[in-house]
Amino acid sequence: MVFDSGFLEPEYAIGQRLISRDEFNHFRNTYLAQSELSLGLILPLLLIVFAVTIRQSNLSGWEMCWISTSIVIATCVLFVLAMERHQKYLIELKLLLVGRWEKQGVDGKVIAKQKAGEAASEG
C-alpha cells in the first residue's frame, strides 16, 4: 500500500475521516497551545525585566549581571519548552495519522478479500 503524504496534513486527514475535528482540537490544545503560550511569554518577560532595570537605574554591576543572567535563563527555558511541545505535537499527530492510515489500509484489504471470496463462492 502506497502512503499518501497528504494525510499528514490535519485538514486533509479530517476530510478523509482519519481523525475527527475533536481529536485534532484535543491535540492542538494539549501540545500546540502550550508551545504558543511559552513563545508568547518570552517578549513580555524581556520587556518587564527591561522596564524594571531602567526604573531602578541605581543597581550595582553585580545586580545587573544577575538580572541579565536570569533573563537569559528564563528565555532559554521558555524557548526550549516551546520547541519541545511543538515537536511533540507534530510527532504525536503524525503517529496517529499514520496509524489510522495503516489501519484503514489493512481493514480495506480484509474487506476486499472477503468480497472476493464471496464473489468466488457465488460464481
- Cβ within 8 Å of residue 100, ≥6 positions away: 13, 18, 19
What would the grid cell of residue 10 be? 490535519
pLDDT at residue 7, rounded to an integer: 62
| Cβ-proximal residues to 83 (8 Å cutoff; 6+ apart), any chain | 35
The Cα 5–Cα 14 span in angstroms is 14
CA dist., res. 35 & res. 82, Å (int): 4
**3-state DSSP helix/strand/coil percent for the chain, to nearest 5?**
85, 0, 15
The grid cell for 31 is 501540545
- pLDDT tens digits, 9-22: 777 777 877 788 88
Q: Could you read off the pLDDT of 24-52 as tens digits, one per residue?
A: 888 788 878 878 887 888 888 888 877 77
Pick left, alpha or beta for residue 46 (phi over 0 → left; psi -120 to 50 → alpha; otherwise beta).
alpha
Residue indicated by cell numbers 549581571: 65
Query: Is the Cβ–Cβ distance between 38 and 74 less than 8 Å?
Result: no
Q: Please write the tens of the pLDDT for every residue from 72-83.
A: 888 888 888 888
Give the integer Cα–Cα distance in Å for 86 and 74. Answer: 18
